[in-house]
Structure 1
Amino acid sequence: MLLASLSALAVIALVPSPAGAQSLSPELKALDEQLPGELVSDPSRIDWDSYGPDFYAESIVDESIPGGGAARRFHINRATEFIYTSGTNIPLIRDVDRGDVITIGFWARTVEASTPDGRGVVRVRFQQDAPPYPGFGEKTLEIGTEWDWYEVTAPVEQKLRRKDGIVAIQFGRTKQILEIGQAIVVSGASTIEGTPVSTPAPTVLAPTVENLIPPPLAGQGKLLNDPRSREWTITAVSGLSEPRDEPGIWLGKATKLVSTAGSANGPGVTVRIPIGEALAEGDEFQIAIAACTVSATTPTGKALIGISVEHGEGGKSRFAENRMEVGPNWQLIRVRTRAPAAVAAGTGEVVLELGEMEQAVDIGPVYVLKPH
């Protein structure tokens, strides 16, 4: 197994190496001298190109992640017939010649998977990232639920150029959530495991709020709030709230809201979520709430959430009142509305209300967007 000293290398995002560069940076050159064979990837990057239908990827940071405390989390929300319909591509930074041997090693674990044993399924393939996408060395791996190191080795059947050579990790045939951390690709060696290496700490770029917009909302406007913030005002007249980690939804956090019944004092549970930025009278904007039903005593088994917007000091004015049904799987509830009056910065709130019946819902991130 790779030594713990390797853990300083993996990060969310780095300033990438120049495209097609044959020479290595001083940091990668130092690593190359310690590894078997020749280093042909940049292990300090995990901002790999990813793709797939009903799919999204996000970066996560946690000190417990081996290989540097960072990884990419891949959500495959719908299985397809072919495994290659969803995947991620790790680019090569050096040529690899035919007749050589190539090895990839990477950290990975399965968060959840719709397989009998709960293990994820991926296929590793060395290939050219250009039509007709010729490749070799295909191997299917089962990924366990604990972090582990996985390797695939193959003889090089065709030259891979730094211009378009990749290692494809494909996973579209299974509904699953996978996490893949640091990956290292070498040529001229049949294994990386067991090699003692040490590396300098890389430079990490801080994420921006705009980069937090999930794929279904991409291009739909400017964020007026910070969806990472869970500093909500929650009032439970007849119910409770329970925050927790939730890897199954964007940004990895959720709050379970439980309403035991309505009361004369108002809804069982009320949540107030700050909008943040100001709105002018007549401004159009969209509220998008990630939510799913845990349980509900409604005829359909789906919870009902009241959604509105309030603003102003003291006695607040309310508009955009809606009542939305929430299904049992994570979904985006969307409300498009227009400000009937100016909303000063820091005075607007999205208000969620649960009441009238026994029900429980999970609320993930909330996004407020104004069209550009």
Structure 2
Amino acid sequence: MQLSIGIAVALMGAVAAQASSEQIISDAQRPVWGSYGDIKVSRLSEPKAPGGTLVRISVPRAGANFWDSSATGAISKAVKKGDIVTIGFFARSGEPGKPAWVNAVVGSVTPPFKAAAVGRVELDDEIRFHCVEGISPVDVGDKQGRLTLHVAGAKQVVDLGPYMVTTRASGSETQLPCAGKVKSSAQATD
């Protein structure tokens, strides 16, 4: 489902204005969510969201594994071991007053599915730009990675807006507008 094309450019506007080693590795022009599993996917209008639209993921029941159903996004560039990876995405619980959670991962699309960054993000019913950040313990080849938000950990509704994934060298801060950061727990053995 396509969201507004200029959103990624607006998110990273500060990067162009500042000297930064941060690079966008997701598709900056089309931050489009795919999906798989036992979920219902729909679009809803939301004026508070960038682009005015959210993707709603309705999970009818918890899966046997939290990764059984997911939203996915494209990663078009490589991640090198030692890069700082920042996963950023707009999200909220789609049910007022009821929390939701996702497990955010950037990793390889081929076995053994090594993770460059991974973290559990708790959602409330306010739309925010959530971030997971950490130092990649693995290499992920060019066009061999994917952003995945596992959603099958509970019966829940998750609303998603645009996403962006970046890498940078140590010693600099992300320019993404993170409302808060979850520290990645990715390990070379994941």
Could you say whether these structures have the same fold, taking a TM-score greater than 0.5 normalized by the shorter chain as the test? yes
Deviation at 1:59, TM superposition (A): 2.8
1:216-269 CA-to-partner distances (Å, cap 9, x unmatched) read xxxxxxxxxxxxxxxxxxxxxxxxxxxxxxxxxxxxxxxxxxxxxxxxxxxxxx
Is residue 153–residue 191 contact of structure 1 (8 Å, CA) maintained in 2?
Answer: no
Separation of aligned partners in 2, 1:78 and 1:93: 32
Aligned CA distance change for structure 1 residues 160 and 68 (closer, same or farther; 3 Å): same
The question of 1:12 aligning with 2:7 is answered no
Higher relative contact order (CA 8 A, sep 6+): 2
Q: Residue 51 of structure 1 corresponds to which residue in structure 2?
A: 36
Q: Residue 321 of structure 1 corresponds to which residue in structure 2?
A: none
Is residue 39–residue 185 contact of structure 1 (8 Å, CA) maintained in 2?
Answer: yes
Separation of aligned partners in 1, 2:69 and 2:152: 4
Deviation at 1:107, TM superposition (A): 1.0
Separation of aligned partners in 1, 2:34 and 2:2: 15
Aligned CA distance change for structure 1 residues 194 and 131 (closer, same or farther; 3 Å): closer
Matches within 5 A, 1:233-248: none
Match of 1:93, SS? coil
Q: Residue 74 of structure 1 corresponds to which residue in structure 2?
A: 57
Letter of the 1:40 partner, please give it: I
Identity %: 21
Is residue 34–residue 71 contact of structure 2 (8 Å, CA) maintained in 1?
Answer: yes
1:14-41 CA-to-partner distances (Å, cap 9, x unmatched) read 6xxxxxxxxxxxx69x856357511111
Separation of aligned partners in 2, 1:178 and 1:43: 22
Separation of aligned partners in 2, 1:71 and 1:141: 18
Count matched residues. Answer: 168
Aligned CA distance change for structure 1 residues 137 and 94 (closer, same or farther; 3 Å): closer
Q: Give the TM-score of the pair, scaled to structure 2.
A: 0.76
- Of 39, 46, 49, 1:62 maps to 46
Is residue 50–residue 88 contact of structure 1 (8 Å, CA) maintained in 2?
Answer: yes
Is residue 91–residue 164 contact of structure 1 (8 Å, CA) maintained in 2?
Answer: no
Structure 1: segments with no counterpart, 5+ residues: 1-9, 15-26, 196-372
Separation of aligned partners in 1, 2:17 and 2:37: 36
Match of 2:146, SS? strand
Matches within 5 A, 1:210-249: none
Matches within 5 A, 1:337-348: none
Q: Give the TM-score of the pair, scaled to structure 1.
A: 0.41
When Rg is computed on C-alpha atoms for both structures, the one with the higher figure is: 1
Letter of the 2:81 partner, please give it: R
Deviation at 1:102, TM superposition (A): 0.7
Is residue 3–residue 162 contact of structure 2 (8 Å, CA) maintained in 1?
Answer: no
Q: Residue 164 of structure 1 corresponds to which residue in structure 2?
A: 144
The question of 1:178 aligning with 2:158 is answered yes
Is residue 153–residue 190 contact of structure 1 (8 Å, CA) maintained in 2?
Answer: no
Deviation at 1:194, TM superposition (A): 4.5
Letter of the 1:38 partner, please give it: Q
Is residue 107–residue 180 contact of structure 1 (8 Å, CA) maintained in 2?
Answer: yes
Structure 2: segments with no counterpart, 5+ residues: 179-190
Deviation at 1:63, TM superposition (A): 2.4
Is residue 11–residue 69 contact of structure 1 (8 Å, CA) maintained in 2?
Answer: no
The question of 1:42 aligning with 2:27 is answered yes
